[in-house]
Every structure is written in structure tokens, then in C-alpha cells.
Amino acid sequence: MFAAATKSFVKQVGDGGRLVPVPSLSEADKYQPLSLVVKKKRCFLFPRYKFTSTPFTLKDILLGDREISAGISSYQLLNYEDESDVSLYGRRGNHIVNDVGINVTGSDSIAVKASFGVVTKHEVEVSTLLKEITARKINFDHSLIRQSRSCRKAVLCVVMESIRTTRQCSLSVHAGIRGEAMRFHFMDEQNPKGREKAIVFPAHTTIAFSVFELFIYLDGAFDLCVTSVSKGGFEREETATFALFYRLRNILFERNRRVMDAISRSQLYLDDLFSDYYDKPLSMTDISLKEGTHIRVNLLNHNIPKGPCILCGMGNLKRETVYGCFQCSVDGQKYVRLHAVPCFDIWHKRMK
């Protein structure tokens, strides 16, 4: 009966689907701000999640003894009084009958009256909490962490807000026949015994709450999922391995792209040099034929092996030659390998 009343409250108040009804009166005191609950999907046939209370708070699963000093603000939300008829043939009606154990003989519906009065909303100051937990780490030796980590469907959540009553409240259920005369005649002495049930619960009872999920990394750091887009859970070792693989792959791709760009620019530069050389008449480019210029020599005649041309044989382009110049030197080497045409003339034109 309590669960039916809290579900009806959440359905009417709404809050964009963030509010969760408290499932049991006996567990109502466990859904306080900064308490921990476990969120678990029932199965693929049921899209809704099941929330299970725990006896722990966020501070209990963190390393260190420092308290969390995030403030909790509270204010009046609304005055809630609800009266409704529920069909015995619906899911909600069957749930109430099974929960309360009311006599439904000769009845086709149930009248439910919930009187919560003024309810208040208590919520954690999110910005302050985020600053508090920035450098904190999760204690993986805690029993709740070990048990939740072993179940892939379990997600740890922190209660961020709770809605509570401010006075003693009552819930009443009456079985009867749907109609004007049936609604809310709870004290009708003509009704058979067992057709009416009522409960009274104390003030400051939590009837609904909302949570933020926790995403916990392998190193103990964690994120508070403040939006519905981000999802909580535990980082798995295979997930971390794949993430590292993709990061390394992207680094290698970027490095190869830069190398290929450098080679492409170098090739374009050489193409420009060669085209400039071939586009000009011989009298302007054949510097080696002029008086006082350097002389082409066959390095094999001086016991110097064939090797890459210093101008067009660097990098991945292993263009080799047997010709060179003894009048030029590079890096302490007393000769320079250069193709006879056109690298010899281009090199000396640049040097000149």
C-alpha cells in the first residue's frame, strides 16, 4: 500500500523522470542525501530499473577519514492529498491487493486515499560536492565495492535529493463497487469485515528520491554523472586496454601523417628545383662547364663505393650514384655524391 501511494505521488509530481518512489516503508530512512543505493536492471523485458538501499553513505567508500561537508538545502515542495479509484483487474490493483491483503469479495475496484500533507524537498549542493570529491579515491577493499564490481549490471548511485513528509500521515484502502456511492466511504459499518485497511506512519518519512550515478575508474578515481547522458558503472580492464590501444593507434597515425606530409613537401621542392633546371637553357644551368667551377668525378675511380645522392637520395628515396665532387664537403666528409645530371649543377647553383 505504501509503495502504491509513493508511485502515485511520483507519477503526479513528475520531475522529468528523475524521481524514484520509495518501495518500502521499512527502508524509507535509508534514502537520505549522500546515501548509496544500487541500481540494477531487472532484465531485457523490463525497461525499468530496480533500486536497492544500502546501509552506507558516499563517505564510507572513500579512502581517508575526511568528512564530506557538502551542504544540504531544504524547502517546502507542495501539499499532497490524493483520492483515486483503482481497478482490481489492473496491475496496480493486483499489487495493492497482494500487498495489503484486503478482502475483495464482490468488489471490482479499490478506493485509495493518501494524505501526505506538506512535503519538503532536501537536496545536496552539487557544486560544493564536486569540489569536495575532486581528489578523493574509491576504496576497492570496501565490501559494497567488491560486491557491486562483481556484478556487471549493478551501478552504484548517490542519493542527491529526497522528499519527506512533515507530519504524521495516513494511507487508507477500501474495496467496493465502482460508483459515486463507493468513493471513500471508509468508515461504512455495513461493509463486511476486512474490506478496509489503513496505516499511519510518522513525520519525516522519505517518500521519493533521486540519484546521480557513479562511474569508477580502475585507479580509484570516479566521476559523478550529473546528466542523464553520462552513465555510471565500473571501468573494466578490457575497456581500458581498448582505450589504450586506440590512443596508441591514433598517435601512430598522426606521426605517419606528419612524415608523409614532410616527404610530400620535400618531393614538391625537388620537383620545383628540377623543373626550374630543365626549363632554363643549358648555358644558364651547366655551371660545371664554366671556367673555375667544380668538376664531376667518378668516385669509383677513387675507391669510393656507390651511395645515395645528397640532393635527391635522402629519406625514403634511396637514389644512388657513382658521381660526385671533391671540391665540396658535408659533415666532415671530403666529397659529396651527386648525380651527374641534374643534381650536380643544381647543387652548385645553390651553393653559389
pLDDT tens for each residue of 40-78: 876 665 557 888 999 999 999 998 888 887 788 989 988
Least confident of 121-135, 161-175, 196-210, 264-278: 264-278
Query: Of the candidates 173, 187, 158, which has an alpha carbon nearest to the alpha carbon of residue 31?
Result: 158
Q: Is the pLDDT of residue 84 over 80?
A: no
DSSP string, 143-174: HHHHHHHH-TTEEEEEEEEEEEESS-EEEEEE
The residues spanned by each domain of the chain are 1-234, 296-338
Q: Is the pLDDT of residue 18 over 60?
A: yes
| Sequence letter at residue 311 | L
CB 155 within 8 A of CB 214: yes
Q: Is the pLDDT of residue 79 over 70?
A: yes
Q: pLDDT tens across 252-263, in order?
A: 888 888 877 776
Q: pLDDT tens across 231-290, in order?
A: 888 887 665 566 677 778 888 888 888 877 776 666 665 555 555 544 544 444 444 444
Q: pLDDT tens across 141-160, in order?
A: 999 998 888 887 889 999 99
Task: Give the count of beta carbons closer than 10 Å to the beta carbon of residue 286.
Answer: 17
Quote the CA–CA distance of 210 and 32 in Å, as a whole number. Answer: 10
Percentage of the chain lying above the pLDDT 70 cut: 70
Least confident of 271-275, 323-327, 341-345: 271-275
What pLDDT was estimated at residue 36?
A: 93
Quote the CA–CA distance of 205 and 199 in Å, as a whole number. Answer: 13
Query: Of the candidates 171, 174, 170, which has an alpha carbon nearest to the alpha carbon of residue 110?
Result: 174
What pLDDT was estimated at residue 121?
A: 92
Q: Is 227 helix (H, G, I), strand (E, B) or coil?
A: coil
Average pLDDT in the chain: 77
Calculate the alpha carbon distances from 52 to 30, 41, 100 in Å.
10, 11, 22
The reply to whether the predicted model has a pTM over 0.75 is no
Quote the CA–CA distance of 191 and 185 in Å, as a whole number. Answer: 10
What pLDDT was estimated at residue 176?
A: 64
CB 126 within 8 A of CB 7: no
What pLDDT was estimated at residue 87?
A: 61
